Amino acid sequence: MNVAIVGAGPAGLYLAILLKRDNRRHRVTIYERNRLEDTFGFGVVFSDETLENVGEADPQTNEAMAEAAAHWEDIEIHYRGTVLRSTGHRFSGLERTTLLQLLARRAQTLGVTIHWQQQIRDLGDCGLSQADLIVAADGVASTLRERLAARFEPRLDWRHNRFVWLGTTRPFPAFTFYFKSSPAGLWRTHAYQYAPGRSTFIVEAREETWAASGLAEDDEAGTVAYLEQLFAEELQGHRLLANRSIWRRFPTVRNARWHWNNMVLLGDAAHTAHFSVGSGTKLAMEDAIALAAALRTGATVPAALSAYEAARRPQVESLQRAAQASLEWFEATERYHDTEPLQFAFNLLTRSLRITHDNLRVRDPALVTEVDRWFAEQAAVQSGRAVPLDPPPPPLFTPYKLRELVLPNRIVVSSMCQYRAEDGTPNDWHLVHLGSRAMGGAGLIMTEMTDVSREGRISPGCAGMYRPEHVSGWKRIVDFVHETSGAAIGLQLSHAGRKGSTCVLWEGEDQPLPEGNWPLIAPSAIPYLANSQVPREMTRADMDQVAEDFVRAAGMAEAAGFDLIELHLAHGYLLASFISPLTNRRADEYGGSFENRMRYPLEIVSRVRAAWPAAKPLSVRISAVDWAPGGMEAHDSVEVATMVVAAGADIVDVSAGQTIPDAKPIYGRQFQTPFSDRIRHEARVPTMTVGNISSAADVNTILAAGRADLVVLARAHLYDPYWTRHAAVELGYPMQWPPEYDTLNRYTPRVR
Ligand SMILES: Cc1cc2nc3c(=O)[nH]c(=O)nc-3n(C[C@H](O)[C@H](O)[C@H](O)COP(=O)(O)OP(=O)(O)OC[C@H]3O[C@@H](n4cnc5c(N)ncnc54)[C@H](O)[C@@H]3O)c2cc1C
Ligand SMILES: Cc1cc2nc3c(=O)[nH]c(=O)nc-3n(C[C@H](O)[C@H](O)[C@H](O)COP(=O)(O)O)c2cc1C
């Protein structure tokens, strides 16, 4: 096979090595525009695990890399005058020139031809088009990718922060993060040693901070002088070193396709991952391993390229998601400015979702115990309950207080419509459904969306709080929960608005009833689906009626003994549809501006608050974003949360979407938690987070990092009503089983 590779970076060089190892008769030629010694930047960092995995493909390279690398285990976080050290993170740093030199040497030994200082401007250059396989390993600004942009459809997401890649002679003993304030703003530094007496020193700041510093993009001397002064204490008399050190913005590169005919994109040309997860070189070299493996099968080149992309893409995208979370963390660090240093450090270490409370316990058990103890102390003060400190409970098993209600732990069973009621009346299904989840150990059980009027239902099967018998129906369930478990129970109150009068879920989600439809009301006369009933635009008299229905339902909730009310201002139902500009087109004082759109939902919050006992908490569920152009954005949700709390809510339950049918949510593990985190820190209100959370490790991480106060699980509780008890066993926390199940108490779980 005749292979032409453009770019002698880690991707191109390692691919050349592996192809030659596989078959010496392959003709492999690399075209590199620079000389070998011309590299930008200083060192790169790998986890030891990556080094081993990457090295396995070519043990000689592995040996050379391991020999040249500096190794360390600790991460140091310098924040607000404190230094927190976490151990057990095995990393290696390697000079980029050394890496490229050892790869180039190995490639040349194996018979790879490298043409240095040979820039490729087009596919016709240097007989490239005659090759059996053309590899574009020409980095983030890939010329070949741009020439064939119509085929690969590249998307470059230029991020907000500015960064500069510098070096220093100070040998940092640990991977070191500095967070340093100056009059211009907050500066973040990522520093690590890559050779004796040499460290990488990347400085990053918000665009505003960088602009306020007065530094120019490409004034290396000015940058070095400014930063040497700013970090004088940290540099301990050492100098900063520049090497094409200009202030850049990081582009996250994604491509719709990585291959076309006999050409493939490799490494940064295909995808980038933010430097804060230190994985660009790893990805580039792993690409080479995967591509060599696909070509080794003997398939035709186009077939091998398809197989390569199919196998490799999910792994890369998973790492890009982690990198995205990490880069967003560094873009939003100002948000955490008054967080306790210990929590700040835990938050930083767990930012990309790759390290959880559980993983960190394996790496650094002492730190996790310290975090848990700190969290338990806070919980004891907040709740007024004694919490053991030796050993401290996992964060999810700490109490939490809302007004006079003290929840025994931080797990909430999310509201889930059951469509089993008749004219709103709950029955045995609801008793068993909610009762078993209370027995399962969660701290708070939420009823399904329960409607304040018959016309306010989504479907004929929806639960309600509008007929006198609803009080006794719910009271039976509330009493069961109180008598048989330590859980509290909350009622979610709602009105379906334009999403009402539809079939039950399994007979046609959101579809109008075949017969017996009831009239709908909404802020504006916009149907949900094209074939949905067109709602009538609400008059002020309609608003008065619905407000009275909410107030009456709150009184009935008190009579039934509920501990908490949650008002449903999410998912496109009546109150949510006032808030979103996609569903509210009113011309009066209830439409138009954000304040106007909030007016009626806030009126409901205040009126229910006034009707609900002062000792009992009120929650409000919101959709933080609409996942649709022109709709609600994350920054709007900070305002919504601030306003609902000012109107009397005690906690904000942060969900998202379901406002319009063709929204484009970005799913993933904990996909809505960043909204809760943002609201909690920017609006400074208590939050619950919900959405694709299923493991105890994730719950503990969210809580300890301060991304929410309570964690809400929906489908995980359908799967396992005993989720909380099972988490206790898994975590070795001694949660008592009810006396009826006492035999289980004798198998006391291991306490850490
Ligand atoms: C600030 C910063 C810090 C980083 N830190 C780390 C880290 O700690 N760990 C890590 O793993 N990664 C890190 N990276 C990422 C890492 O540098 C890249 O992801 C990695 O080098 C990608 O390898 P590559 O071979 O795909 O591309 P590159 O290394 O960019 O190589 C591409 C090569 O192609 C050549 N080339 C480009 N165009 C042409 C052309 N038209 N003709 C001929 N030759 C051409 C270039 O000269 C270059 O040598 C960091 C990146 C930045 C910006
Ligand atoms: C069967 C089912 C019914 C639901 N009904 C409601 C509801 O009545 N009220 C509500 O606010 N959310 C409702 N949701 C959304 C969930 O409460 C939750 O926000 C969503 O499922 C994401 O959480 P999860 O990933 O843990 O399932 C429902 C979800 C499911 C799966």
Query: Tell me, what amino acid is at 620?
Result: V
- The two tokens of residue 322 are 């982690």
If residue 296 lies in a helix (H) or strand (E), which one and from where to where?
A: helix 280-296
**At how many degrees (to 10) do helices 341-349 and 365-383 cross?**
130
CA quadruple 499, 504, 509, 511: dihedral sign: negative
Taking the CA of residue 470 as centre, how many other CA atoms within 13 Å lie in the half-sphere pointing to its CB? 25
Strand partners, 3: 28, 133
276, pLDDT greater than 50: yes
Residues flanking ligand 2, CB < 6 Å: 414-417, 448-449, 492, 568, 570-571, 621, 655, 690-693, 713-716
* Nearest ligand, CA 285: 1
Mean pLDDT of 118-134: 93
- The residue nearest atom 31 of ligand 2, judged by CA position, is 715
The residue among 430, 563, 416 whose CA lies nearest residue 487 is 563
* pLDDT higher than threshold 60 for residue 750: no
Residue 9 CA, ligand 1 centroid: distance in Å: 6
pLDDT (tens digit, 9 = 90+) per residue, 520-565? 999 999 999 999 999 999 999 999 999 999 999 999 999 999 999 9
What is the per-residue pLDDT across 336-359, written as a single tens digit (0 to 9) for each?
988 999 999 999 999 998 899 999
For residue 512, the CA-to-ligand 2 centroid distance in Å is 21
CA distance linking residue 476 with residue 482, whole number of Å: 10
pLDDT class for 38, splitting at 50, 70, 90? confident
CA of 690 to the centre of ligand 2 (A): 9
CA of 670, nearest ligand number: 2
- Ligand 2 atom closest to 694 (CA): 26
Average pLDDT for 376-385: 98
pLDDT tens-place string over residues 627-666: 999 999 999 999 999 999 999 999 999 999 999 999 999 8
Average pLDDT (726-748) is: 88
Q: Output the residue whose Cα is nearest ligand 1's atom 13.
A: 280
Question: By alpha-carbon position, which residue is closest to atom 12 of ligand 2?
Answer: 415
Give the total residue count for the chain.
752
Per-residue tokens: 107: 């490639």
In our burial notation (b when 16+ CB lie closer than 10 A, e otherwise), range 252-291 reads: bbbbebbbeebbbbbbbbbbbbbbbbbbbbbbbbbbbbbb
Band (pLDDT 50/70/90 cuts) for residue 749 is low
% of the chain with per-residue pLDDT over 90: 90
DSSP string for residues in 527-584: -SSTTSPPPEEPPHHHHHHHHHHHHHHHHHHHHHT-SEEEEEE-TTSHHHHHH-TTT-
- The span from the CA of 643 to the CA of 659, in Å, is 20
Q: Summarize the confidence of residues 50-77 as an average pLDDT.
A: 89
- Which residue's CA lies nearest to atom 15 of ligand 2? 416
Instruction: Name the residue of 33, 128, 156, 202 to mutate for ligand 1: max ligand atoms within 8 A of Cβ.
Output: 33
Residue in this structure with the two tokens 């919490």, named with its chain if needed: 387
CA 138 to ligand 1: nearest atom: 34
What is the model's pLDDT at position 291? 98
Contact 565, 608 (CB under 8 A): yes
Residue 56: pLDDT band (50, 70, 90) is confident
DSSP letters, 159-223, are EEEEEEEEEES---SSEEEEEEEETTEEEEEEEEEEETTEEEEEEEE-HHHHHHHT--TT-HHHH
Q: What's the 185 CA to ligand 2 centre distance in angstroms? A: 41
CA of 505 to the centre of ligand 2 (A): 12
Which atom of ligand 1 sits closest to the CA of residue 140?
30
**Of all atoms in ligand 1, which is nearest to the CA of residue 279?**
11
User: Counting atoms of ligand 1 from 1, which one is nearest the CA of 34?
Assistant: 47
Predicted pLDDT of residue 585: 97
310-325 confidence digits (pLDDT tens) = 999 999 999 999 999 9
CB atoms within 10 A of CB 566: 28
Is the CB of 139 inside a 6 Å radius of any atom of ligand 1?
A: yes
Whether residue 40 is predicted with pLDDT greater than 80 in this model: the reply is no
pTM of the model: 0.93
Residue nearest to atom 11 of ligand 1 (CA): 281
| pLDDT at res. 37 | 80
Q: Average pLDDT in the 11-23 region?
A: 97
| Strand partners of residue 200 | 167, 192
Q: How far apart are CA 317 and CA 87, in angstroms?
A: 28
For the CA of 162, the nearest ligand: 1
Positions marked catalytic:
573
Dihedral-angle region of residue 251 (phi above 0 means left; psi in -120 to 50 means alpha; beta otherwise): beta
Distance (Å) from CA 335 to ligand 1 centroid: 31
pLDDT band at 752 (very low <50, low <70, confident <90, very high): very low
Q: Which amino acid is at 677?
A: D
H-type helices in 561-671, by residue range? Answer: 574-579, 594-611, 634-646
**What does the mean pLDDT of the chain come to?**
95
CB distance 706 to 347 below 8 Å: yes
CB distance 166 to 240 below 8 Å: yes
Residue 585's identity, in one-letter code, is R
Q: Which residues contact 390 (CB under 8 A, 6 or more apart)?
A: none
Q: Which pLDDT value is given to residue 261?
A: 95
pLDDT of residue 419: 96
In this prediction, residue 742 carries a pLDDT of 86
Q: What are the pLDDT digits (tens) for 572-628? A: 999 999 999 999 999 999 999 999 999 999 999 999 999 999 999 999 999 999 999
**3-class DSSP state of 663:** coil
Indicate which ligand has the atom closest to the C-alpha of 167.
1
> How far is Cα of residue 285 from the mean position of the Cα atoms in its chain?
26
In this structure, the residue with its CA closest to atom 16 of ligand 2 is 714
Q: Which of 99, 268, 327 has the most ligand 1 atoms within 8 A of CB, as the residue to mutate?
A: 268
Q: Please tell me if the CB atom of residue 33 comes closer than 6 angstroms to any atom of ligand 1.
A: yes
Q: How far apart are the C-alpha atoms of 170 and 495, rounded to whole Å?
A: 63
Confidence band for 53, pLDDT divided at 50, 70 and 90: confident
For 404, other C-beta atoms within 10 Å of its C-beta total: 12
In one letter, which amino acid is 619? Answer: S
Strand, helix or coil for residue 726: helix
Give the closest residue (by CA) to ligand 2 atom 13: 416
What SS3 class is residue 713? Answer: strand
Task: Measure 415 CA to ligand 2 centroid, in angstroms.
Answer: 6
Whole-number Å distance, alpha carbon 293 to ligand 2 midpoint, is: 43
Q: Is 9 in the pocket of ligand 1 (CB under 6 A)?
A: yes
Among 281, 286, 326, name the best residue to mutate to test ligand 1's pocket (greatest count of ligand atoms within 8 A of Cβ): 281
Q: Which of 32, 89, 161 to mutate to test the pocket of ligand 1 (most atoms within 8 A of CB)?
A: 32
Q: Is 382 left (phi over 0), alpha (psi -120 to 50) or beta?
A: alpha
Mutate to test the pocket of ligand 1, among 13, 34, 38, 44 (most ligand atoms within 8 A of CB): 44
Enclosing H/E stretch for 226? helix 220-230
Compute, in angstroms, the gap from residue 191 CA to the centroid of ligand 1.
19
pLDDT in tens, 285-298: 999 999 999 999 98
Is there an atom of ligand 1 within 6 Å of 273 CB? no
Q: Are 180 and 201 in contact (CB under 8 A)?
A: no
Which of the ligands is closest to the CA of residue 146? Answer: 1
Centre of ligand 1 to C-alpha 493, Å, is: 54
Closest by CA to 528, choosing from 500, 495, 558, 492, is 500
Mapping DSSP onto H, E and C, the string for 461-511 reads: CCEECCCHHHHHHHHHHHHHHHHHCCCEEEEEEECCHHHCCECCHHHHCCC
CA distance 465 to 454: 9
Return the pLDDT at 743: 87
Residue bearing the CA closest to ligand 2, atom 18: 714
User: Quick one: which H or E segment has residue 688?
Assistant: strand 687-690
Q: How confident is the model at residue 751 (pLDDT cuts 50, 70, 90)?
A: very low
How many whole angstroms separate alpha carbon 616 and alpha carbon 403?
A: 6
Q: Looking at residue 41, what is its pLDDT? A: 66
Ligand with smallest separation from the Cα of 122: 1
